[in-house]
Amino acid sequence: MRITLLNGTPADARYKNFELFVEKLAIYLDKDRHTVTNLKLRNMDIKYCTGCFGCWVKNPGECLIADDSRTVRREAINCDLLVFASPIIMGFTSAILKKTMDKMIPLVHPYIEIVEKECHHRKRYDKYPSVGLILDKPTDNRADDEDIAITRRIFERLSLNLRSTLRLVAFDQTPIEEVINEINHI
Amino acid sequence: MKLTIFNGSPRGKGSNTKILMDHFCKGFDAAAAEVNTAENNLKVNVAYLVHTDKMEEFMELFEESDKIILAFPLYTDCIPGIVKFFIEQLEPLCGRENNPDMGFVVQSGFPEAVHSRAVEKYLEKLTGRLGCKYLGTVIKGGVEGIQVQPPRMTQKLFGSFYRLGFHFGKTGAFDETIVRELVKWERLPGWALVLFRLLALTGIANMYWNTQLKKNDAFDRRSSKPYQGLF
């Protein structure tokens, strides 16, 4: 399976263990039977979405800003499993990851259609990857189960917008073999 | 009461969020004109979070306000990246004494409120984390077209935001009746789903996008797949 890992960990000592977990997971998955592209977002030049909709009405399918989000989109649409990874900061994944999520809209079409009795954007591509989410379970009261439930719900919505399903939610406390096993069953 | 509106739209002063909040501010100012005295001074400030280099200034504004309204467009059924960046700057203020009361305005292009419910939960939890009193979340869908719609189509919406602002000026809270009216549809009713499918068949449903695509000479490329099969 082709796996793209979007690692949204900020450069902060508090999140070092989380990042180690994500790095280790990437290496183990790659050693297993998968092809892993591990993108460390904080080292990439990704500009904020400006809401110009140029990716829908001027240069359909592509962001007008020539930044590294082009690599992210290329790797995201051509994989089987797209994994978002971030520690929980102020109740949600990092701003680094969020701005990258915003830059996914060129992957869908501006037209609206009815999906599950709701308005959603039409697919631009024939196939979209399954979605995975890796979070931390902080021991320092930084996040609780409610934060995790809210974050999970927002990623279920993001997956639906990408016309896909959230198939994996894992934590840095989970034994790595269990996470790999879960991924192997997707 | 000192109110600060943080406009979280990446479009900044060109945003639909600004248009809605301008009407809110007009209502707020009208209330201020009625009640302002020496000891009861109503004032509203607006800050644009798109200026991500001004975070220190924004934090000061946050600290010295009595009320905050964070208004933004829905991005991936959540807050835009710039808003998350701003919220992360507020981390040191968690649990500070006398943090301002905080309310939210979430606007989106989707006609139904259901898209905004997940982030609403996030926003409520955020106020608890900061130790701010939660003033509620105004959810308004179907906003994307307001800059091209004729005044008769936007009159009611703008009037609602004016009244929302007026009430906020008088009471420091959102008027629950107006908040409920603005939601209009939690989910699309059956007849609207049928109607939408018909409009989609005729192309009317996508007229807004087609007009812009044609204007940019991009209509023929509207479904292009620049990353298809690159591996």
Which helix or strand (DSSP H or E) is residue A113 part of?
A: strand A108-115
Q: Chain A contacts of B111, Cβ < 8 Å?
A: 119
| B9 in contact with A, Cβ within 8 Å | yes
pLDDT at A142 exceeding the cut of 90: no
B229/A109 touch (CB, cutoff 8 Å), yes or no: no
Axis-axis angle for helices A16-31, A176-184 (nearest 10): 50
Which one of B88, B111, B206 has the shortest CB-CB distance to A90? B88
Rg of chain B, C-alpha, whole Å: 19
Query: Using the beta-carbon criterion (under 8 Å), do B222 and A110 form an inter-chain contact?
Result: yes
Report the SS3 class of residue B114: helix
Q: What is the band of A60 on the pLDDT scale with cuts at 50, 70, 90? A: very high
Contacts of B197 in chain A (CB under 8 A): 114
pLDDT tens figures, B188-204: 999 999 998 888 888 88
Residue B65 scores a pLDDT above 90? yes
| A153-176 tens-digit pLDDT | 999 999 999 999 999 999 999 999
Give Cα B177 to chain centroid, integer Å.
Answer: 18
A104: pLDDT strictly greater than 70: yes
DSSP string, B130-144: HTPPEEEEEEE-S-G
Supply the pLDDT for residue A140.
78
CA distance B222 to chain A (A): 5
Contact B140, B112 (CB under 8 A): no
Contacts of B216 (CB under 8 A, 6+ apart): A57, A58
H helix intervals, A32-175: 54-57, 69-77, 95-102, 145-161
pLDDT for position A133: 98
- Contacts B224 to A, Cβ<8 Å: 60-61
Q: Coil, strand or helix: which one is B39?
A: coil
List chain A residues with CB under 8 Å of B218: 57-60
Among all residues of chain A, which has the CA nearest to that of B221?
A: A60
CB-based contacts of B12, cutoff 8 Å, min separation 6: B18, B48, B50, B51
- For residues A132-139, average pLDDT: 91
Q: Which domains, ranges and CATH numbers included, belong to chain B? A: 2-187 (3.40.50.360), 188-222 (no CATH)
CA distance to partner chain B, nearest, from residue A92 (Å): 8
**How far B76 CA sits from the closest chain A CA (Å)?**
6
DSSP classification of residue B48: E
> CA–CA separation, A65 vs B227, rounded Å?
16
Bridge partners, B103 (sequence order): B69
What are chain A's domains? 2-184 (3.40.50.360)
User: Is residue B148 very low, low, confident or very high in pLDDT (cuts 50, 70, 90)?
Assistant: confident
**Residue A134 near residue A85 (C-beta atoms within 8 A):** yes
**CA–CA separation, B1 and B18 (whole Å):** 21
Q: Which residues contact B211 (CB under 8 A, 6 or more apart)?
A: none
List chain A residues with CB under 8 Å of B221.
59-61
Q: How far off is chain B from A18, nearest CA to CA, in Å?
A: 18
Number of C-beta neighbours around residue A167 at 10 A: 18
Of all helices (H) and strands (E), which one includes residue A83?
A: strand A81-85
When pLDDT is cut at 50, 70 and 90, the band that residue B231 belongs to is low
Q: Quote the Cα angle for B19-B176-B151, to 5°.
A: 30
Residues of A in contact with B225 (CB under 8 A): 61, 124-125
Q: Which long-range contacts (CB under 8 A, 24 or more apart) does B87-90 make?
A: B87/A90, B87/A95, B87/B126, B88/A89, B88/A90, B88/A94, B88/A95, B89/B55, B89/B58, B89/B59, B90/A90, B90/B59, B90/B62, B90/B130
Joined tokens for residue A105: 């809209």
